[in-house]
Structure 1
């Protein structure tokens, strides 16, 4: 997909596009790339969520984009500021891989699956429908969201290109 207006979203970052652009993030392993989209206004947002909960934060100033429980509300606020309507938001997501195999499957080592669970819990709590996902597995992904078509493009070395 080649578009001139590409908004890059880094790790533990979030951003919006309100002018028909494409949102892109790379390096999704255990991280989750979460898309929120208001189709009527064509306002899209993407968060690159690294961890499930800000309760484990050790930094004095929390990076809201880093945690599922803080990134999603922050993304909604930014989108509303650009003219999106919360009741029209839909979600798509990708990532949440279990990148490494461990002999003991402690909850602390399940970062990818916990990120997915936490994002889904927040979406449910906020009454935002999840219309598509490509999560799990043990491989990395790069995603692009085309806000003109409402399509999430997922690229992985193992499985090629997929659209949801």
Structure 2
């Protein structure tokens, strides 16, 4: 069994028996897709809600509206069945308190909303989520079982 690492603004896939992990989810959202029949998991570490914010070269994995379609495409290429995919989300914290209640400062909640929109457009159901709050998270998906382990600072480990 290998642990495949996903960096910030990155995405990757894992087939059974491998696991896939990302660390440092603050306002970023970890989007996990899983095909239980074919035992294929995918993960995107989404930093920002929309690629229209991009200047210059586009990193597809950085934005919710481009990362999720790319992850689905990569998983299908690896043998996953799009109609069998389910999603789990983690992250999207509001890491800092701001004196001005500007929508631009709500990066975490906006990332969660954008990921949900992209998954809805792709007709992929969200089975579970651990989003919001103000703590960082590390997530790891077991591509054999589809269980997502979430480690949160000062809150231990939970399974989705």
| TM-score category, normalised to shorter length | over 0.9
Task: Give the TM-score of the pair, scaled to structure 1.
Answer: 0.96
Deviation at residue 83 of structure 1 after TM alignment:
0.7
Moved over 6 A (4+): none
Give per-residue Cα distances to partners, 1:44-99, cap 9 Å, x unaligned: 100000000001101x2200000000000000010000011111100001000000
Deviation at residue 42 of structure 1 after TM alignment:
0.6
Q: What pairs with 1:1-164 in structure 2 (closer than 5 Å)?
A: 4-58=1-55, 60-164=56-160
Deviation at residue 20 of structure 1 after TM alignment:
2.1
Gaps of 5+ in 1: none
Deviation at residue 141 of structure 1 after TM alignment:
0.3
Distance 1:102 1:133 in 2: 25
Task: Give the TM-score of the pair, scaled to structure 2.
Answer: 0.98
Give per-residue Cα distances to partners, 1:24-58, cap 9 Å, x unaligned: 00000000000001110011100000000001101
Deviation at residue 138 of structure 1 after TM alignment:
0.4
Other structure's SS at 1:12 match? coil
Other structure's SS at 1:119 match? helix
Is the CA contact 2:39–2:145 (under 8 Å) kept in the aligned structure 1? no
Supply the RMSD in Å over aligned alpha carbons. Answer: 0.7
Distance 1:128 1:140 in 2: 25
Distance 1:41 1:20 in 2: 11
Q: Give the number of equivalent residue pairs.
A: 160
Distance 1:19 1:82 in 2: 12
Deviation at residue 157 of structure 1 after TM alignment:
1.6
